[in-house]
Amino acid sequence: MTQVNPFTEDAVRRYPKVELHCHLDGSISLPALRKMAAVTGAELPASDAALRKLVSAPIDTVSLIDYLKRFQIVTDLMQTPEQLRIAGYNMVQTAAADGLIYLETRFAPAIFTEKGLSIREAIAATLDGLHAGSQEFGIPVNAIICAMRDRPLDECITVFQTAAEFKDQGVVGLDFAGDEYHHPTLDLADAVRAGQATGLPFTIHAGEAGPVDNVVVALTLGAKRIGHGVHMSGFPAAIAQTKEAGATIEICPTSNIQTKAVQSWDDFPLAEFLSAGLKVTVNTDDRTVSNVTLTDEFITLRKHFGLDWSLLERLTLNAIDAAFIDDDQKETLRAKVLAARNTSRV
């Protein structure tokens, strides 16, 4: 008889997990932020409690725009190559401690150029940190390069074209992030097309702070993955189109509750998306701003939706299927997940 291992926090942490939607600037640990501040002599609150309050969103955050304000203090510390290297290295350290076997982290190099770095230098320094972390902590990590919805389109195109120069150095995809409410996906079409021309695949934030239309436009523009997508809830035609397109949804539960993309756990469309046959993955979005780990997210989904080992495995295999890596790498990751069956069902 099969006996199922208890679904404890520790067991979930040890389970081989994969994350596809994790913003680097929203996920830097407090000790790393202090190291980054020391590079330029920037002052931070002395106590961790006060620092956490500055960089983490409370549950009563009113909107995505309110949530995004937490990033300013962090991005002020991401303006030199040394700071970006610390951030990249720390991202991998955090992922390894959370039991990830593969991570795609994303960042917007244009916001690291306020003190004179070029977009190219910002990408290169961040990749350096990621590679150093990967070597140290033994997990593969790739980068998705974001353009920001509120920045000029010509800059966004430059970001995508510059990102493509790093294709063989760990840049595996492109994204649009930022204020979706005021910048619908349709307005970004020319930049997305320019990005597509580089050959890098797209994931696009859509249906988070904006309406379902943004998801439909993102699919029409060829996005392989949708960041959040929760506003497809209640729109079966859009859900069917996503399924038809073979696109994967990157849901970020805690972040969605904080930004009010979803009003309450009762409204969170996990069961709706799964029963419609959508390929769903679970992600943190921002580990520090949302104050969560991927382990925490799965424990939360167990609490609200009864997630079990078999659903955790399915969500993890979905993430592997949708990762922007080649088939051999996917096979290696799948083997690790399938091997964990023996430890999650002893």
Residue 175 in the binding site for Zn ion (CB under 5 A): no
Smallest distance from Zn ion to CB 106, Å: 7
Residue 98 or 104: the one with the smaller Cβ distance to Zn ion is 104
Smallest distance from Zn ion to CB 146, Å: 8
Residue 19 in the binding site for Zn ion (CB under 5 A): no
Residue 128 or 175: the one with the smaller Cβ distance to Zn ion is 175
Residue 126 or 344: the one with the smaller Cβ distance to Zn ion is 126
279-282 and 248-251 beta bridge pairing: parallel
Applying CB under 5 A, the site for Zn ion has a residue count of: 1
What is the rounded CA–CA span in Å between residue 300 and residue 297? 5
What is the rounded CA–CA span in Å between residue 233 and residue 273? 8
Residues 133-152 that bind Zn ion (CB under 5 A): none
Q: Is 316 exposed, middle or buried (CB count within 10 Å of its CB: 0-12, 13-18, 19+)?
A: buried
**Cβ atoms < 10 Å from Cβ of 164:** 16
What is the rounded CA–CA span in Å between residue 135 and residue 127? 12
Applying CB under 5 A, the span of 59-67, 234-242, 263-271, 280-288 interacting with Zn ion comes to: 280-288
Residue 285 in the binding site for Zn ion (CB under 5 A): yes
Residue 25 or 313: the one with the smaller Cβ distance to Zn ion is 25
Closest-by-Cβ residue to Zn ion is: 285
What is the rounded CA–CA span in Å between residue 294 and residue 252? 10
Residue 15 or 71: the one with the smaller Cβ distance to Zn ion is 71
Q: What would the DSSP string read from start to end of 265-306?
A: GGG--HHHHHHTT-EEEE--B-TTTTT--HHHHHHHHHHHH-
Smallest distance from Zn ion to CB 255, Å: 7
Smallest distance from Zn ion to CB 253, Å: 12
Does 208 qualify as catalytic in the annotation?
A: yes
Applying CB under 5 A, the span of 49-57, 239-247, 277-285, 288-296 interacting with Zn ion comes to: 277-285
Which among 19, 104, 180, 208 is annotated as catalytic? Answer: 208
Give which of 116, 143, 56, 94 is closest to 294, Cα–Cα.
94
Applying CB under 5 A, the span of 190-198, 279-287, 300-308, 328-336 interacting with Zn ion comes to: 279-287
285, 22 contact by CB (below 8 A): yes
Smallest distance from Zn ion to CB 37, Å: 24
What is the rounded CA–CA span in Å between residue 189 and residue 195? 10
What are the start-end ranges of the E strands in the chain? 17-23, 100-107, 141-148, 171-177, 203-206, 225-228, 248-251, 279-282
Catalogue the active-site residues.
Answer: 208
Contacts with Zn ion, residue ranges (CB under 5 A): 285
